[in-house]
Chain A
């Protein structure tokens, strides 16, 4: 991997690693006696590991200029593997906390094993670790293929991928130590947030630089979505995390916002993280891999346009539906609810555009589990967005809010949509990137598919049931006109559903482990040259224009 970097880039990588080491050292020294110190050591060790990694290939001969005629796929391969590792770790933790809810004594009296610390490990690990790495990897792939150009340099993609994972590592290790700023999906503290800003701005710069070098006259839909994802996540992340640290040596900070303004800012962030991380980014993935695998043209360019602008415009207003019936002024709740309703149509346009693209290729959906992953993802995308708009209606929300129905909704989206489209994309990518004729075992892809579908159904149905029962129990009155059930009554009733959820999650986790094994074995099997030559910038069919290799 280092051998593909030019000498200048290797020096840059060494310098960057040295900066990370210095930062880690500074954190460890300034933060001694504070939780910051422990985080400093993690940064320090990470930087040292990077130094060793770069040094190990530092004296390798420089890459020949022939590489410039190829796409740069090394960071994509690494991103896929890292993404799968995060998936398994975070799904394991997710299933662990699912069982913890059914059997709450399994914490060994250890602070790190409490639900409050493990739950963000699951959410951050899955959204940012699994989802984020998959998005970075696939966006690099889609960007190069649809722009018919190579990434402009070899250092930036590695900086983004490795730097991003340092952020994830700091976040997750911090939770276990007890560091959090108590904002859902934005738990990492100020130093990790600042680091992510640096990484994310580099990501945006790399994306723009590559697009500027494109050999295609038009920018493909997938790139619109990836751009929206990168741009808006930067904005959300910076605004919601504005905070003042106690001191440079303290892991604790205080938010710039307070009271209901803080709640609104947080859910403007939280909902648009769903919109631009879990929706826009993954729609970018879908718009490339689904038509590619199906071998069909996108059903309607015009629907792509209204879908995209509808989603990006309406989503921005919808965050306040997370705060129905709270101290938030009623007019803000009205706007959140109505924009959520209007959002349904653009969301369904995107889902319909994907499913209609499969017209003429349904026999492939039947035979090919990889394409079926993507089809099911589009179906769940449609289901989850319908449910989202439905739950945003205030009277519906008065039943569903704070119940497991929300959890069912989120997991219909994350298991059914995000994970399925990612697995579809990964099963498409792995044989291509490692130049194999196909996956090591297509049968295991089938097994993974059915485990994932079964796990999702068991999970979502269990939580739908428990959520609606919970909501009803909390609002049931007896003949005396007082509440019929105490909260603990509803907890007792949830138990069987929590066990079912644990089982559903376990099925999904086993599927992912099988997927990882299959990917690993595909990588290990003998290299064939079957697909080696077709996937190059100059080999792509040109619509009349320059045929020269990327510079």
Chain B
């Protein structure tokens, strides 16, 4: 194939090279290509002149616009905060029970609280805050550490059995594993505890055990859960007479709780969420029974 050979289809000349049958045309580069190359280069040149772009020893070219992403972010954050300040200052300053009664302000709390809860709390307590095995339901009326706005806010701040120095601390001993109670006594206590909220246990085949369990309970459990088994929010000891269970109210679950003990964990949020956010979460959670169907 000669240097001047032309491709019959396009009419372009070939370069005269050939590799195992592959030839190349010597087609000129279309003008548009040069144009676009120049265009992208000129755009880049302009961008380099206006924006921070090239390293110059220990510093860099700052650009004519004086743009700085760090300042941009700071300005954006400030503007966002100023935008929210209309209602967040009220959250910061007003009493929480007053806010709970203020429907307009609670709309902001509900909107904001939903995403805050979803990102920080839902992993354990569930998207609907109804909890699950091992994680308390926050929509029900039972509160381990008290259901006042101040108590809930404090629980969020310090956590439960967390690394915070002021953490709420609570532990259910392992009566079986640590050999504090014999097997029959555990079974009696389990039956008694269950009979408090489940009449069918009190009247069923385990009625005998439930009766015997009353003494076991008084000797071993009442110091935390109270004589009447209604719990103690000072100690985080749950009410055993209501129908709410964190670890399950069936026989096997209650047995596991008494035998092996329990020590739930909730992280401290003091360093991870601002006080405003923690307040919003408190209000959001307390408002759930009202706003959730």
Contact (Cβ within 8 A) A300 B27: yes
A481 contact set on B, CB distance < 8 A = 80, 83-84
**B2 and chain A: residue at smallest CB distance:** A543
On whether the beta carbons of B26 and A302 are closer than 8 Å, the reply is: yes
Among A329, A345, A482, A540, which residue has the most Cβ atoms of chain B within 10 A?
A: A482
Of A145, A341, A342, A346, the contact of B20 (CB 8 Å cutoff): A145
Cα of A299 to Cα of B28 in the assembled complex, Å:
10
CB-based contact B28/A302 at 8 Å? yes
Residues of B within 8 A of A292 (CB): 20-22
Report which of B28, B51, B119 forms a contact with A300, defined as CB distance below 8 A: B28
Residue A4, interface by CB 8 Å: no
B252 at the interface (CB under 8 A from A): no
Q: Does A177 contact B (CB under 8 A)?
A: no
| A487 in contact with B24 (CB, 8 Å) | no
A288 near B115 (CB under 8 angstroms)? no
A178 located at the interface, meaning its Cβ lies under 8 Å from any Cβ of chain B in the complex:
no
Which residues of the other chain, A, contact B270 by a CB distance below 8 angstroms? none
> Given A330-B68, A484-B115, A288 and B25 touching (CB < 8 A)?
no
B56-98 vs A, CB cutoff 8 Å, 1 = contact: the mask equals 0000110000011100000000001001100100000000000
B246 near A: Cβ within 8 Å? no
Decide: B19 and A145 in contact? CB cutoff 8 A: yes
**Residues in B neighbouring A489, C-beta threshold 8 A:** 115, 118
Is A345 in contact with B40, judged by CB distance below 8 angstroms?
yes
B22 touches A288 (CB 8 A): yes
A window 320-347: CB within 8 A of B: 325, 329-331, 333-335, 337-339, 341-342, 344-346
A 130-183 contacts with B by CB, 8 A: 145-146, 148
A360 within 8 A of B: yes
Cβ contact within 8 Å between A330 and B52: yes
Nearest CB to that of A220 among chain B residues?
Answer: B19
The reply to whether A360 and B9 form a contact with Cβ atoms under 8 Å apart is yes
For the complex, what is the distance from the CA of A288 to the CA of B119, rounded to whole Å? 52
Q: Give the Cβ gap from A166 to chain B, nearest Cβ, in Å.
A: 32
Query: Does A303 reach chain B (CB closer than 8 Å)?
Result: yes
Which of the 9-residue segments B41-49, B202-210, B255-263 touches chain A? Answer: B41-49
Whether A396 sits at the interface, judged by CB under 8 Å, is no
Contact A342 B41 (CB under 8 A): yes
Residue of A nearest to B50 (CB): A334
Question: Contact between A338 and B26 (Cβ–Cβ < 8 Å)?
Answer: no
B29 at the interface (CB under 8 A from A): yes
- Given A306-B29, A331-B52, are A301 and B15 also a contact pair (CB < 8 Å)? yes
Q: Indicate whether B150 reaches chain A with its CB closer than 8 angstroms.
A: no
Q: Which residues of A contact B68 (CB under 8 A)?
A: 330
Q: Given A145-B19, A481-B84, does the pair A334, B24 have CB atoms closer than 8 Å?
A: no
A334:B111 contact, CB within 8 angstroms: no
Task: Report A-chain residues with C-beta under 8 Å of the C-beta of B171.
Answer: none
A518 to B80, CA, bound (A): 61
Instruction: Tell me which residues across on chain B come within 8 A of A479, comparing CB atoms.
Output: 108, 111
What 17 new A-B contacts, CB under 8 Å, besides A303-B29, A337-B47? A218-B19, A292-B21, A292-B22, A298-B22, A299-B27, A303-B27, A304-B24, A306-B37, A331-B60, A341-B44, A348-B36, A480-B112, A482-B111, A486-B116, A486-B122, A488-B119, A543-B16
Q: List 5 A-B contacts (CB under 8 A).
A: A220-B19, A329-B52, A330-B68, A331-B54, A338-B47
Closest A-B pairs by Cβ, 4 of them: A486-B118, A338-B44, A300-B27, A360-B9
Residues on A lying within 8 angstroms of B by beta carbon are 145-146, 148, 216-218, 220-221, 288, 291-292, 296-304, 306, 310, 325, 329-331, 333-335, 337-339, 341-342, 344-346, 348-349, 359-360, 478-489, 540-541, 543
